[in-house]
Amino acid sequence: MKKKMEIHRRLDKTPDARDTCDMTVELRTRLDGAIKAFIIDMDGVIYHGNRLLRGAAELVEWLRRSGKRFLFLTNSSERSPPELSQKLSRLGIEVEPEHFYTSALATAGFLASQKPGGSAFVIGEPGLTNALYDSGYSMNNVNPDYVVIGESRGYGLESIERAVRLVLGGARLVGTNPDLSGPSETGLVPACGALVAPIELTTGKKAYFVGKPNPLMMRHALRRLGATREETAIIGDRMDTDIIAGIEADIETILVLSGVTSLVEIGRFSYAPRHVLEGVFEIPGE
């Protein structure tokens, strides 16, 4: 019991407030009982780049053993669900593609609902372009309806200049997610929000971001899980996307300290997660 009390925290008034033994038992009871479905972030929660984080395999095993519904919900737009499934397989965890939902899929769905059969100039990886193709969109670098930005290894001055010209020419600016940075094996790296910023600053146009904490992502996740908000929890490593998304969706929030947000940084926000854990290794029952 003492070990559990050491590793579990709940935020009441101060960022580093330790919870009581009774509350730890309450959390354990909720994880094993009332919470039937989990929305789980990936970068900083399950892995850093190509390095699996402690307890990730055990978490998936526990979810399956306990009969929990789960969906990996990532703001990264680089990979498709089959590619994410293959990545976890390479890291030693077998998870079917239907357990993944990405900001690329959410962005493609949003654009298809706004302007069916439209076109886009895209700065992004295959996970994003393929999602757009599958939604009925075509690629257009002359007069597109949208300029869509996601994480990209080919990001450069030439593509930024073209995006700026197209936005000034009337194309609407959309970002797959607002993350400014993300974790990797070597530390933080720029993410979509940082890549969109030069285009916003140059054009004076604000992007619309589809990924977390946009309620669109959470509604899609709950529908895919077939779960109600009362029986769902979100596990994430970012206060500004995962936790605020969970709070605004009125579901249980669990922040893990294995990614972007550190314990000391939590107090800088005007809201707090329901629970704070060192990592997902704490979640499976004994």
What are the domain boundaries of the chain?
A: 2-75+213-282, 109-209
Cα separation, 4 vs 24, in Å, equals 7
Catalytic, out of 41, 145, 179, 242:
41
Q: What is the pLDDT of residue 181?
A: 81
pLDDT at 18 over 60: no
CA 243 to chain centre: 10
H-assigned helices in the chain: 2-7, 21-32, 56-65, 81-90, 103-114, 126-134, 157-168, 192-203, 215-225, 244-248
Domains 2-75+213-282 and 109-209 agree in fold:
yes
Average pLDDT over residues 143-165: 94
Catalytic, out of 19, 43, 145, 237:
43
179 is catalytic: no
Average pLDDT over residues 219-234: 94
Identify the CATH class of 109-209: alpha beta
- Please check whether residue 54 is in contact with residue 275, taking contact to mean a CB–CB distance below 8 angstroms: no
Average pLDDT over residues 127-154: 95
- Please check whether residue 40 is in contact with residue 46, taking contact to mean a CB–CB distance below 8 angstroms: yes
Average pLDDT over residues 96-120: 97
A 10 A CB-CB count for 245 gives: 26
Got the DSSP string for 146-184?
A: EEEE---TT--HHHHHHHHHHHHTTPEEEES---SEEEE
pLDDT at 57 over 50: yes
Q: What is the pLDDT of residue 28?
A: 76
Q: What is the pLDDT of residue 179?
A: 87
pTM above 0.75, yes or no: yes
Average pLDDT over residues 93-106: 96
43 is catalytic: yes
Q: What percent of the chain stands above pLDDT 70? A: 90
pLDDT at 15 over 60: no
Identify which of 203, 139, 202 has the alpha carbon closest to the alpha carbon of residue 172. 203
The three-class DSSP label of residue 276 is strand
* Least confident range of 1-10, 25-34, 264-273: 1-10
Average pLDDT over residues 86-113: 96
Q: What is the pLDDT of residue 33?
A: 84
Peptide bond into 213 cis (omega under 30): yes
Q: Which fold has domain 2-75+213-282?
A: Rossmann fold (3.40.50)
As beta bridge partners, residue 37 has 69, 232
Average pLDDT over residues 91-117: 97
Give the pLDDT band (50/70/90) at residue 120.
very high
Give the pLDDT band (50/70/90) at residue 97.
very high
Pairing of strands 138-139, 119-123: parallel
As beta bridge partners, residue 139 has 120
Q: What is the pLDDT of residue 8?
A: 46
Q: What is the pLDDT of residues 181-192, one digit of tens each?
A: 876 667 777 889
Q: What is the pLDDT of residue 286?
A: 58
Q: What is the pLDDT of residue 26?
A: 72
Mean pLDDT score across all residues of the chain = 89
Identify which of 121, 129, 209 has the alpha carbon closest to the alpha carbon of residue 170. 121
